[in-house]
Amino acid sequence: MDKKTLLLIIDPQYDFIEGGKLAVNGGKAALDRLVEYLKGHHKEYGAIIITTDWHPITHCSFKDNGGIWPIHCVQFSTGAAIYQPILDALDETKADYTVLTKGCNEDHEEYSIFKNDKSRKVLEALADNTAEVHYCALALDYCVKDSILDGKKVLTNAKACLLKDCTAAIGNPEDTYKILEENNVELI
């Protein structure tokens, strides 16, 4: 079987775009660029995986529970929903995709999808047939970065790439770009 390219779309959820509870500056524009990218490039991927924060209201990352973040992406809430234009683009192109959740355990932070045991098993199953992994979405300096760095440990033979135009950061993206480049991640 030929090795494939995997697309990992990290947390494209309403709470992370402008107007959301933990809005990432430029998040909506990055996701809109991703929608257009998907329409033209979906056939290039052997697998498309979307990750989502899926927090219980008692999650440890929330300020109300001693964490550093406002309440966001609470299970079954509007803010936890995937940005609808992404789903529309995937449906319109008839692209096959899988959704994996993280941050479901109230006392465990999971910026990275690879920190979630069930999800990691799904991704490990793809390891032998994955030549390259493209990462994108929100937020670059937390969940995207951590997923890339952890993914390099699991998908050891796959080249890691960041789709810069389809990603937005909470802080200065240049700081994260530097970290990624130091870890042999290609910025495309």
Q: Which of 92, 1, 95, 105 is nearest to 50 (CA)?
A: 95
Assess contact for 144 and 138: CB atoms under 8 A.
yes
Which listed residue (102, 145, 161, 166) is catalytic? 102
Based on the residue annotation, tell me whether 63 is a catalytic residue of this protein: no
Distance of CA 19 to the CA centre of its chain: 19
Based on the residue annotation, tell me whether 64 is a catalytic residue of this protein: no
Which listed residue (73, 143, 161, 166) is catalytic? 143
Based on the residue annotation, tell me whether 102 is a catalytic residue of this protein: yes
Assess contact for 109 and 103: CB atoms under 8 A.
yes
Cα distance between residue 89 and residue 132, in whole Å: 22
Cα distance between residue 129 and residue 136, in whole Å: 20
Cα distance between residue 86 and residue 84, in whole Å: 5
Residues whose CB is less than 8 angstroms from the CB of residue 9 and which lie 6 or more positions away in sequence, other chains included: 34, 48, 49, 50, 51, 86, 136, 137
- The residues that are catalytic are 11, 102, 143
